[in-house]
Amino acid sequence: MAGPPSVSTLMLRNVPLFSMLPDEQLSLLARAAGRKSFPHNTTVISAGDPSNALYLVVSGRLKVMMSDEEGREVILAILSAGEYFGEMSLIDDAPRSATVTAIEPCELVIISKAEFKKCLAENSEISEAVMKVLVKRLREADNKIGSLALMDVFGRVARLLMEMAETVDGQKVITKRLAKQDIAKMVGASRETVSRVMKHLQSSGYIEVRSGMIYLHAGMLISEAKA
């Protein structure tokens, strides 16, 4: 019978966090790591759980979220290939801070708490890289708190679209599909309000939706630059 799927050195090399490790160390880590597939809609970790591992995203996307007893959700972030999660509670030994659920079929590499801690202790570059990602997430969370307190839904949706856009052939475009429901959960508004705002952005020429992609036009970029 075949054993569990193995982790290649290349798989780890493609995750920016580990890309600077020398080959020898990377192959030791690859041997200690595991690999697992998660179907769409599976929860990988739940808020409040004890921590035991770090997860690297090889393929697919996941949402980081919080929910209440009534099933209301807020999405804190969307993670994709090359990113990782689960580091927070490995660092402070507190329970998992959020729930992480696959929004597409995902392939993840799993590194045990002990291996990750060893890696941090032995490589100051890795510790620094983890700190940089924590700081980036804190900055994003600060921006989100700022826009929740200071902006209306229109501004929050516009800002989110700007943050999610990539530059393709000189044009700002969101290439990954995102349900209106998920946008609503990211900006703290209802799906209906988000639909209305998106329609308004479209009819005013700020955005254009073509083949499932959202193109951001100049007016939108100017209003963001002024904000």
- Applying CB under 6 A, the residues found at the interface with ligand CMP are 45, 51, 64, 76-77, 85-89, 96-98, 100, 137, 141
Q: Which is nearer to ligand CMP, 62 or 184 (CB)?
A: 62
What stretch of H or E contains 70? Answer: none
Q: How far is the CB of 182 from ligand CMP (least distance, A)?
A: 15
Q: Which is nearer to ligand CMP, 64 or 201 (CB)?
A: 64
Contact 147, 155 (CB under 8 A): yes
Q: Which is nearer to ligand CMP, 100 or 111 (CB)?
A: 100
Q: Which is nearer to ligand CMP, 130 or 201 (CB)?
A: 130
Cα–Cα distance measured from residue 187 to residue 183, given in angstroms and rounded to the nearest whole number:
6
**DSSP for 114-156, written as a single string:** HHHHHHHHH-HHHHHHHHHHHHHHHHHHHHHHHHHHH--HHHH
Distance of CA 36 to the CA centre of its chain: 18
Q: How far is the CB of 54 from ligand CMP (least distance, A)?
A: 8
For the chain, how many helices (H) and strands (E)?
A: 9, 12
Q: Which is nearer to ligand CMP, 9 or 51 (CB)?
A: 51
Q: How far is the CB of 4 from ligand CMP (least distance, A)?
A: 23
Q: How far is the CB of 25 from ligand CMP (least distance, A)?
A: 23
Cα–Cα distance measured from residue 90 to residue 139, given in angstroms and rounded to the nearest whole number:
21
Q: How far is the CB of 66 from ligand CMP (least distance, A)?
A: 9
C-beta neighbour count of 60 within 10 angstroms: 19
Q: How far is the CB of 97 from ligand CMP (least distance, A)?
A: 3
Q: Which is nearer to ligand CMP, 74 or 221 (CB)?
A: 74
Cα–Cα distance measured from residue 181 to residue 129, given in angstroms and rounded to the nearest whole number:
33
Sheet of strand 62-67: strand arrangement: 43-45, 99-102, 62-67, 73-79
